[in-house]
Amino acid sequence: MELWLFLLRWIHFLAGITWIGILYYFNFVQTPFFAETEPAVRSAAIQKLVPRALWWFRWGAMFTFLAGLLIYLHKLAQAGVAGFYSTSYGWAITVGGLLGTVMFLNVWLVIWPKQQVVIASATQMAQGGQAIPEAAACARRAALTSRTNTVLSIPMLFYMGAASHLTLFGEASAGAIAGLIVIGGIIIAAVEANALVGSQGPTKKPLDTVSGTLWAGFIQAAIFHLLFVILF
């Protein structure tokens, strides 16, 4: 069992580094480069570079999620429901895991399908055809969702690390747990809705810059930490 858990953690780390590393590449390197480069260079990159990066990106997300889920279920079964959700470890890993799950769903249900349209449109145009009409809207939705995943990754990584290395509270009361579920759920839902509804607006402006995205992530991490401090 110890070897099995170690192998799961190893897979979780390897896949997670791949996934989040490419997420940061997309947002911190590729997106600014595409904004500055010539259309022909951008088109070639969308056709040849982006599909390769997206392959590693989405499968990194898949294996990170599956390995993490198996570890979570093992820890839950080992401690029992009541024991698990009364501990700092249980809630830190739950918050981190929930954020990671939202990110995983964003990859497979939003970013990848939208990017498929963008890639198909660029390929058609390179072959002398017309652009797919919805390609621009798909590119914007994929960009907003990718930036949102970057925002979510900052508190996600904080709580993944905090689970075993930072005690967030000593005792969990029913009221504190309920408050964390309700308030934390509302925050996550609001951040996700901002990515999925509309394309412009004041709440989306921070996502248009790397610095704004990073600040949004650190602020969200601070808000979640304050929730633990206040509620518990």
Identify each DSSP E strand in the chain by its residue range: none
28-56 pLDDT, tens per residue? 999 999 999 999 999 999 999 999 999 99
- For residue 68, give both structure tokens: 């993490």
Tell me what pLDDT residue 138 has.
Answer: 98
- Residue with structure tokens 């633990």? 228
- Rounded Cα–Cα distance for residues 21 and 120 (Å): 25
Tell me what pLDDT residue 1 has.
Answer: 84
Shortest CA distance to 47 belongs to which of 129, 126, 114?
Answer: 126
pLDDT at 220 over 90: yes
97-132 pLDDT, tens per residue? 999 999 999 999 999 999 999 999 999 999 999 999
The answer to whether 191 and 220 have CB atoms below 8 angstroms apart is yes
pTM above 0.85, yes or no: yes
- Rounded Cα–Cα distance for residues 19 and 7 (Å): 18
Work out whether the CA dihedral 215, 105, 98, 157 comes out positive or negative.
negative
CA neighbours closer than 13 Å in the CB half-sphere of residue 73: 7
